[in-house]
């Protein structure tokens, strides 16, 4: 199958064309931090500054705050109505391979057993257009987590920087179909493919941070009750929640009601296992102590998710390392888990 290419100068036109069918989202700093935001129809300066978003693109499918339904009390009692569905599907432009993988990991939870209609209706109708990294951060360790910075099977289309052009790879049938209806793309030549191959390797080699995750699930299980170890790991954490709220594979949410006169909404909002109230029960709190909460965060990703879904829920995106105010570092933690075979009690 021959791939296509698009000249960098033609990106505006391409997004405009896609914008007729989709709500196009692209990296933006409009809100103060880099995040996916609805494209304004002209600005493509993100192509210059973009490394990755601070807010992961999971926010497109699991927004920080989301209405679940409205209710109204009338003469006949309560009336409940879900919010109207979005008119147009989303097209996310320039998703990084680590974040695309993260959404595949989130799908496992939202699809399992009872399906989550809010997440899945948005997710399944969306198109992901990936963009290979040319300039990974020092904190990135995706290559240790089975992700390659300029390759992805988790997007519909994948763009790779080959100089004046982006190579456009058709990854899924959905992506292929979109390309067949898109004008202005040129056929990629053999030289283009060769350049892309080189670019993929160059990106891969630029990720210098490495993490050995061998046997981590069992090591964590054996160290679960090692309070001394976890106390040390958690010592400097200030429980701000950033590393979880902005982690692309974290999905915890809270549910609350808001009532104005007789009309109300129920909404959900991001939550974090790092917060002490998260598990607070009327009579007691199983995770009052900070080390228990930090243990939960680490074990959920590297022990529990593998136990349930056979995959580590971390893609090495490095956000939790870059954004932590006290330089807590998940790679250091994982490396320091004792290699014991018997459970420490």
Per CB under 8 A, residues contacting other proteins are: 68-69, 71, 73, 77-78, 80, 82, 109-110, 112-118, 221, 224-225, 227, 250-257, 259, 264, 266, 268, 271, 273, 278-284, 286-287, 292, 296, 299-300, 303-305, 307-308, 343
Mark residues 231-270: x for contact with ligand FAD by CB under 6 A, - for none. Answer: ----------------------------------------
**If you compute the radius of gyration of the chain from its CA atoms, what whole number of angstroms results?**
22
By the rule CB under 6 A, 328 interacts with ligand SF4: yes
Please report how close the Cβ of residue 277 comes to ligand FAD at its closest, in angstroms: 4
| Interaction partner, residue 253 (other proteins, ligand FAD, ligand SF4, none; CB < 5-8 Å by kind) | other proteins
d(CA 88, CA 175): 17
By the rule CB under 6 A, 280 interacts with ligand FAD: yes
By the rule CB under 6 A, 84 interacts with ligand FAD: no
d(CA 27, CA 53): 7
| Interaction partner, residue 301 (other proteins, ligand SF4, ligand FAD, none; CB < 5-8 Å by kind) | ligand SF4
Q: Return all residues near 242 (Cβ < 8 A) that are at least 6 apart.
A: 320, 323, 324, 325
| Interaction partner, residue 247 (other proteins, ligand SF4, ligand FAD, none; CB < 5-8 Å by kind) | ligand SF4
Please report how close the Cβ of residue 113 comes to other proteins at its closest, in angstroms: 4
Residue-wise DSSP of 231-260:
HHHHTT-----HHHHT-TT---EEEEEEEE
Q: Please, what is the angle between helix 290-299 and helix 227-234, to 10°?
A: 90
d(CA 291, CA 269): 24
Distances (CA, A) of 282 to 279, 285, 292, 296: 10, 8, 18, 20
Task: Kindly tell me which of 3 and 315 has the beta carbon lying closer to ligand SF4.
Answer: 315
Q: Minimal CA–CA distance to 45: which of 27, 18, 68, 22? A: 27
By the rule CB under 6 A, 97 interacts with ligand SF4: no
Contact (CB, 8 A) for 206 and 19 = no
DSSP category for residue 148 = B
By the rule CB under 6 A, 319 interacts with ligand SF4: yes
Q: Please, what is the angle between helix 117-125 and helix 97-111, to 10°?
A: 140
Considering only 130, 132, 248, 306, the residue that binds ligand SF4 (CB under 6 A) is 248
By the rule CB under 6 A, 149 interacts with ligand SF4: no
- Which residues form the interface with ligand SF4 (CB under 6 A)? 102, 237-243, 247-249, 274, 301, 314-320, 324-326, 328, 330
């Amino acid at each position: 199958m021959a791939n296509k290419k698009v000249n960098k100068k033609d990106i505006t036109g391409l997004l405009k064309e896609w914008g007729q069918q989709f709500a196009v989202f692209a990296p933006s700093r409009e809100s103060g931090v880099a995040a996916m935001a609805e494209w304004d129809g002209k600005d493509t300066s993100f192509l210059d500054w973009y490394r990755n978003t601070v807010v992961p693109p999971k926010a497109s499918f699991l927004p920080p705050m989301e209405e679940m339904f409205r209710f109204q009390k009338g003469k006949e009692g309560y009336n409940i109505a879900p919010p109207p569905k979005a008119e147009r599907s989303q097209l996310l432009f320039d998703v990084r391979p680590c974040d695309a993988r993260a959404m595949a990991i989130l799908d496992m939870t939202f699809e399992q057993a009872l399906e989550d209609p809010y997440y899945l209706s948005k997710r399944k109708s969306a198109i992901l257009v990936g963009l290979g990294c040319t300039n990974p951060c020092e904190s990135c360790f995706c290559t240790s987590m089975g992700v390659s910075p300029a390759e992805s099977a988790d997007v519909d289309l994948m763009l790779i920087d080959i100089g004046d052009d982006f190579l456009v790879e058709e990854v899924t049938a959905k992506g292929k179909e979109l390309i067949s209806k898109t004008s202005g793309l040129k056929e990629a030549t053999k030289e283009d493919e060769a350049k892309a191959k080189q670019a993929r390797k160059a990106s891969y080699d630029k990720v210098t941070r490495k993490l050995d995750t061998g046997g981590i699930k069992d090591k964590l299980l054996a160290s679960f009750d090692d309070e001394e170890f976890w106390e040390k790991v958690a010592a400097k954490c200030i429980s701000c929640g950033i590393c979880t709220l902005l982690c692309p594979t974290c999905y915890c949410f809270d549910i609350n009601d808001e009532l104005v006169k007789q009309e109300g909404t129920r909404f959900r909002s991001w939550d974090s296992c790092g917060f002490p109230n998260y598990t607070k029960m009327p009579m007691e709190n199983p995770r009052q102590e900070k080390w228990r909460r930090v243990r939960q965060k680490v074990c959920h990703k590297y022990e529990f998710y593998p136990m349930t879904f056979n995959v580590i829920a971390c893609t090495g995106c490095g956000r939790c390392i870059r954004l932590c105010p006290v330089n807590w570092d998940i790679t250091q933690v994982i490396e320091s888990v004792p290699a014991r075979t018997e459970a420490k009690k």
